[in-house]
């Protein structure tokens, strides 16, 4: 009995073959970054599935018919976690495939896998070798035409990077040496990876926290100034009012040594003509009359 046939008679499709996920750290990092970047790009589309290093079974009943692309994307298939990918159940196979090759897998990626992807109807196929020198091309692109994945030329060279356009994703793939990034052609900026997104979110959260602390401090300062101002006004209202005595009107005060008014004709001035000023009377008696005749000194 085949090891893939269970006692119940059902065919078992394993999710692993015991081999390592990637040959080197560079291969693994580039694979995860490519998956995360495109998955984040299309996170608002529920029927856009992006995965990688997942067993894709393309013939029902035969677990030997399997391939595991480092990266693949397909429209029209719901997002979600999968143990394996069965083409006959998903109805649709991968549309875009990216393989991170190496000297030991290069011939397999260009030969056998390329033929399998033609059978699966893969629209675009890219191969990247991150271990080649930066001065050498590390990217190759193929596009399905009449059932054959035919080589496509570079779109351009940009700052030493090879650029290939993906018509299915509406993105560009830039690569040189160990550098490999999906790029938005409208902005010219690489798609952020999950790590970069987390870092950006942490920085924005830190700025928001600092702004919140600054606003809270300003609010507390305003409240303190308001309380101090209210206390000062309250103390001013509670203090007794100081009463200032009215100032005398100097021009109405009698002088210390007033001079007697000049004597009227026919009246008694109260002094001796020609006498010294100090011998003169200090008061001027009114004109004699019945009511003032009894006054002393007049």
Check: CATH 3.90.1570.20 for 25-200?
yes
Quick: pLDDT tens for 94-122: 999 999 998 888 889 999 999 999 999 99
Give helix 25-41 / helix 194-238 axis angle, nearest 10°: 60
- Report H helices in the chain: 25-41, 87-90, 106-110, 112-120, 194-238
pTM attached to this predicted model = 0.65
Task: Give the C-alpha separation, 41 to 179, whole Å.
Answer: 19
pLDDT above 70 coverage of the chain, percent: 71
Quick: pLDDT tens for 211-247: 888 888 888 888 888 877 766 666 566 656 565 555 6
Containing 180, the helix (H) or strand (E) segment is: strand 179-183
Scan for tokens 């830190």, then name that residue: 206
Quick: pLDDT tens for 221-230: 888 888 777 6
Question: Distance of CA 111 to CAs 106, 107, 108, 114, 183, Å?
Answer: 8, 6, 5, 5, 28
């Amino acid at each position: 009995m085949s090891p893939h046939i269970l006692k119940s008679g059902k065919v078992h499709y394993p999710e692993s073959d015991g081999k390592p996920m990637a040959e080197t750290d560079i291969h693994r990092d580039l694979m995860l970054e490519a998956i995360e970047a495109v998955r984040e790009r299309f996170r608002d589309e529920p029927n856009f599935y992006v995965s990688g290093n997942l067993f894709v079974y393309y013939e029902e009943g035969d677990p030997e018919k399997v391939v595991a692309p480092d990266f693949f994307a397909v429209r029209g298939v719901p997002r979600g976690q999968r143990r394996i990918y069965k083409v006959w159940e998903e109805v649709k196979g991968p549309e875009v495939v990216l393989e991170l090759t190496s000297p030991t897998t290069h011939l397999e990626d260009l030969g056998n896998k390329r033929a399998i992807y033609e059978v699966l109807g893969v629209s675009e196929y890219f191969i990247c070798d991150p271990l080649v020198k930066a001065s050498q091309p590390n990217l190759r692109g193929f596009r399905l035409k009449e059932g054959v994945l035919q080589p496509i030329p570079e779109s351009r060279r940009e700052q030493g990077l090879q650029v290939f356009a993906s018509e299915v994703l509406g993105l560009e793939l830039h690569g040189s040496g160990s550098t490999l990034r999906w790029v938005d052609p409208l902005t010219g900026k690489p798609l952020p990876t999950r790590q970069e997104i987390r870092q950006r979110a942490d920085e924005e959260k830190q700025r928001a926290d600092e702004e919140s602390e600054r606003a809270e401090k300003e609010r507390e300062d305003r409240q303190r100034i308001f309380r101090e101002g209210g206390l000062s006004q309250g103390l001013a209202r509670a203090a007794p009012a100081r009463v200032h005595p009215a100032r005398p009107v100097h021009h109405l005060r009698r002088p210390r040594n007033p001079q007697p008014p000049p004597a009227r004709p026919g009246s008694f001035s109260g002094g001796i003509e020609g006498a010294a000023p100090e011998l003169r009377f200090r008061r001027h008696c009114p004109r004699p009359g019945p009511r003032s005749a009894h006054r002393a000194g007049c």
